[in-house]
Amino acid sequence: KAGVTQTPRYLIKTRGQQVTLSCSPISGHRSVSWYQQTPGQGLQFLFEYFSETQRNKGNFPGRFSGRQFSNSRSEMNVSTLELGDSALYLCASSSRGLAAEETQYFGPGTRLLVL
Amino acid sequence: AQTVTQSQPEMSVQEAETVTLSCTYDTSESDYYLFWYKQPPSRQMILVIRQEAYKQQNATENRFSVNFQKAAKSFSLKISDSQLGDAAMYFCAYRSYNSGGYQKVTFGIGTKLQVIP
């Protein structure tokens, strides 16, 4: 099985712009979670999607949004970019996402730099 | 709210030696799971080991084992016979589900492990 893929791998944007990141989960996985990773904050949970529905959301402003398609692929959008949004954005998929013990499989991440 | 603390920003170990990475957490829940993830320089995060809170027996995966002290809310990772490929960032993570079925997940800030040949 192919692993979790994320596109693009690198992005450079300027303040005020918006950006869309894409994540394709492992085939058959229905749950996709998004994380923001920064050196000072570690990994912070953004949100989780399961069967096209957002099931949970972390403590991020409304500028961060996402969606999931019927094929389980997910996109994350950040509007009105700020310098502090520069980070590595990771997505992770799991088969059911309904149990805490579920193993999450991570993608390689998208490195976003906001200038 | 749950918190996960990794108090060692960086650690180093000689090849073939043993190293222990520490993790403490704070929660009022009784049912949860704890994880250690490894993130090598290539950035692909992978699961190292998992521990169910209701199990008293410490989890073991080959050279990796944990020391889970539920009362002390401590979850340390021991790497035996360290190898060069073990060099990576290691993240401790806490996960649980509330009654509404919503996932709660918290990661520590990470510990960078250097393996010295």
**B60 Cβ contact list (under 8 Å, min separation 6):** B49, B66
The verdict on A94 touching B (C-beta cutoff 8 Å) is no
Cα gap A12→A86, rounded to integer Å? 9
> What's chain B's average pLDDT?
91
**Overall average pLDDT of the B74-82 stretch:** 97
CB A104 within 8 A of CB A2: no
CA distance B111 to chain A (A): 10
C-alpha to C-alpha distance for A30 and A41, rounded to whole angstroms: 28
**Low-confidence residues in chain A, pLDDT < 50:** none
Regarding predicted confidence, which is higher, B31 or B112?
B112
Please tell me the distance in Å from B14's CA to the nearest CA on chain A.
25
Q: Which amino acid is present at B55?
A: K
Question: Which residues in chain A are closer than 8 Å to B31, comparing Cβ atoms?
Answer: 100
Whether A35 has its CB under 8 Å from any CB of chain B: the answer is yes
Chain A residues within an 8 Å CB radius of B104: 56
- What is the average pLDDT across B84-111? 87
Residue A90: predicted pLDDT: 96
pLDDT value of position A100? 63
The better pLDDT of the pair B78, B44 is held by B78
Please judge whether B46 and A90 are an interchain contact, meaning their C-beta atoms are less than 8 angstroms apart. no
Question: Does the pLDDT value for residue B67 go beyond 90?
Answer: yes
How many CB atoms sit inside 10 A of residue A35's CB?
Answer: 24
CB contact under 8 A, B44 and A107: yes
